Amino acid sequence: MKKIYDFDKVVSRLGTDSIKYEFRNQVFKNENVIPMWVADMDFETPDFILDAIKKRCEHSILGYTSRGERFYNSVANWLKKRHNWTVQPQSIAYSPGVVPGLAMAVLAFTQAGDKIIIQTPVYHPFHSTVKDTGRQLVENELIEDNGFYEMNFEKLEAQIDSRTKMLILSNPHNPVGRVWKKDELLRLGEICVKHNVLIVSDDIHSDLVFKPHKYQPIAQLSEAISKQTISFFAPSKTFNLAGLSTSVMIAENPKLLEIYNNTLENLHLYTGNIFGNIALMEAYEKGENWLEQLLAYLQGNIDVTATFLNENLPKIKMLKPEGTYLAWLDFRGYNLPQQELNNLLIHKANVGFNTGEMFGKSGNGFQRINLACSRETVMQVLANLKLVFDNL
């Protein structure tokens, strides 16, 4: 019989050095905001993963660790089973987190001064990994129509020149929640192939997709695209393992794989984390039942949020995300300067969201909220919003 999990259970994270909780004062200047910002989940990490980690602790030595065949096979099997993508285990490399992987990719495949394109509004480390390494950031803004976002292909092609070396893709897209469709990815991939732009695809949210939407790996679309793509995956978002810093990079082009692995070695980041390796294997080998229940619960949180806002606060617009547990709320109906909006949310509604402009200037007037928490917490946040925004 399949085990049933209780996602309503509230577990205090206070005193665990959780960034989402302990950094509230530093970020919001209010240590009591209900934290809906950092993208980890307030749900318990699955028991079968915790059990395997505890079991490893029965051995009393935690020395340097390595990754064997089981590690790479578990990733390949998961991608086949969940996403129907056949990847050879030899095409998979380790990364100590997806963001570190993006930074390594920028260092490995581009030079200072090269141009790198991101599609804004997008996850803020996409901006910083480019800018902090002395590359030129090119923002290809997504086109928004009534809350629905699409890629701007015409502008993209016009923006590419001889200095443009890389495009960093978010699939599914954080924060707007799009799960890019085959035809969209194909068109994007073909433009990048035509202009010799390397695609770095961040697919960390690929398991968090709601029916009828379906995640499509861009590298699966054609041999030409695959040759020019590296993709990042991790069990960290899906199974709440972000503190273990373990993810993977997939390059079917052996040349790209070699360059990436050389960088990993040159930066001495190759070793990895003993518990992260165990957690990844357990997650990918045993995680489907837990994940299906998580997705159903998240869909419930998304549905109640959308319904509540629609019925009670229709000036706050929300289109249900196709993937990710993040919702992108449009507050532009209130016509407030962003700082004033932030102050109202933090100091009057007592909620800690990610302010929209951190994802790019087109995020002005928006807020990103993390719905991976108990239904009770979601309802509390919505009630707090109603008290403040009803009267505006």
Q: Which residues are near ligand PLP by CB under 6 A?
A: 39, 97-99, 123, 170, 174, 202, 204, 234, 236, 242, 247
| Helix, strand, coil percentages for the chain (3-state, nearest 5) | 45, 15, 40
In the complex, the smallest distance separating the C-beta of residue 126 from ligand PLP, rounded to whole angstroms, is 8
CA distance 342 to 339: 5
Find the Cα–Cα–Cα–Cα dihedral 220, 180, 182, 150, rounded to 10°.
-140
Q: Where are the beta strands (DSSP E) in 221-323?
A: 229-233, 247-250, 317-318
In the complex, the smallest distance separating the C-beta of residue 171 from ligand PLP, rounded to whole angstroms, is 9
In the complex, the smallest distance separating the C-beta of residue 192 from ligand PLP, rounded to whole angstroms, is 19
Residue among 39 and 371 whose Cβ is closer to ligand PLP:
39
Residue among 170 and 238 whose Cβ is closer to ligand PLP:
170
In the complex, the smallest distance separating the C-beta of residue 201 from ligand PLP, rounded to whole angstroms, is 10
Residue among 118 and 349 whose Cβ is closer to ligand PLP:
118
In the complex, the smallest distance separating the C-beta of residue 334 from ligand PLP, rounded to whole angstroms, is 27
In the complex, the smallest distance separating the C-beta of residue 99 from ligand PLP, rounded to whole angstroms, is 3
Residue among 99 and 281 whose Cβ is closer to ligand PLP:
99
247-250 vs 92-95, strand pairing mode:
antiparallel
Residue among 203 and 330 whose Cβ is closer to ligand PLP:
203
In the complex, the smallest distance separating the C-beta of residue 246 from ligand PLP, rounded to whole angstroms, is 8
List Cα–Cα distances, 94 to 7, 83, 158, 199, 200, in angstroms: 30, 20, 35, 18, 15
Residue among 272 and 344 whose Cβ is closer to ligand PLP:
272
In the complex, the smallest distance separating the C-beta of residue 139 from ligand PLP, rounded to whole angstroms, is 16
User: What tokens does 381 get?
Assistant: 């946040």
In the complex, the smallest distance separating the C-beta of residue 124 from ligand PLP, rounded to whole angstroms, is 9
Q: Where are the beta strands (DSSP E) in 312-375?
A: 317-318, 326-330, 351-352, 354-355, 366-370
CA distance 384 to 35: 13
Residue among 97 and 363 whose Cβ is closer to ligand PLP:
97
CA distance 250 to 253: 9
Q: Where are the beta strands (DSSP E) in the chain?
A: 34-35, 92-95, 115-118, 136-139, 143-145, 148-150, 164-170, 198-202, 229-233, 247-250, 317-318, 326-330, 351-352, 354-355, 366-370
CA distance 275 to 283: 12
Residue among 39 and 351 whose Cβ is closer to ligand PLP:
39
User: What tokens does 40 get?
Assistant: 């980890």
Residue among 40 and 252 whose Cβ is closer to ligand PLP:
40
Q: Return the closest-CA partner of residue 94 out of 330, 268, 304, 288.
A: 268
Beta carbons of 216 and 248 less than 8 angstroms apart: no
